[in-house]
Amino acid sequence: MARLKHTLILSPALRRADLDRAVAVPQEVWESLRAADGRLYAADGRAVQGVALLAGEHARPGARYGRHEATAAPLAKDAIAPRVTLVDFDRAAGTTLRLDGQRLGPGPSPRIAAELRLRSVARPVTAGLRVDGSISRPGRQRRRWLRWFGLWAELDVDRWYAAAAGTAGPPPLRLQVRHSLVRAEATATPRPATGGGWQVELRIAARGRGVLRPVLALPLQVAKRILRRSLTDGLPRAAAGWRARVYPELVRDPAESRARLLDELCTPYTPQPAEAPAEPSADPRAEAPADPGAEPPADPPAER
């Protein structure tokens, strides 16, 4: 088994009231849109870009959304075009989104299915995420058990803020990753930090599964060292990103957040012009001026 423990400082801490307001904004914006002929429109008449209503009634359980090919940005190579279904869409009871997609074409075909659940939107209590993925190869049925993975995560919001205030209890954020060969678990627990932030303790454990468990002991130790270096480098960047980008967005005035989100949804995609490659120099020595004080280059040795 491989175990890791790290600490992440998030500062400033997010107040519960700010979280409640920020979580409500996306659902309020989506409810404000109207649907006509498969397109979505803002109250001022602007059309939502890149998204189409494929089935059902907009903003109601059963509504299914996908790409509007005429206005969507081009997909990157090997990208999966997802479709989203509203399973539940109620501010008080909760909202559940189901996402599924598969890349079509020659070669391996990745497929993903995910479900995001929030209870509730008016005052978040718990948030959950479940992801199942697989890769299939045309004409190859052997070793299919190696080509799948599952991820499960749950955040108990009430417990998070209780732990952040110093109350002992089980970790409020838990994550599990499952594969036929490996199982990994991670938890996050906040504590009060100096200056009013959160000191988040991260714990990660991974172990092999099945008959190959003894064989996987060494690869897991190698992976542990790689992950430790990644966390050492990445956690300070995550703290800086929270401070510079995430926190300011979460505490933004809700009216401004709604306007910005509508602008993002309704702004047409604009292709970025490709940069012309630099013209290569015919003589590499001509790229830099000669240094008058430098000695001339030595002649190459004569061939023997």
pLDDT in tens, 230-289: 788 889 999 999 999 999 999 999 999 999 999 999 999 887 665 555 555 555 444 444
Please give the residue that has the higher pLDDT: either 114 or 81. Answer: 114
Please give the residue that has the higher pLDDT: either 225 or 200. Answer: 200
Q: pLDDT by residue (tens digit) across 166-191?
A: 999 999 999 998 877 778 899 999 99
Q: Distance between CA atoms of 64 and 30, rounded to whole angstroms?
A: 13
Residue 139 has pLDDT above 90, yes or no: no
27-36, 136-145, 226-235, range with the lowest pLDDT: 136-145
Please give the residue that has the higher pLDDT: either 286 or 16. Answer: 16
pLDDT of 218: 54
pLDDT of 274: 59
Look over the chain and give the mean of its residue pLDDT values, rounded to a whole number.
83
Give me the residue label for tokens 């109250």: 43
Q: pLDDT by residue (tens digit) across 42-65?
A: 999 999 999 999 999 999 999 999
For the chain, give every domain's residue range: 2-265
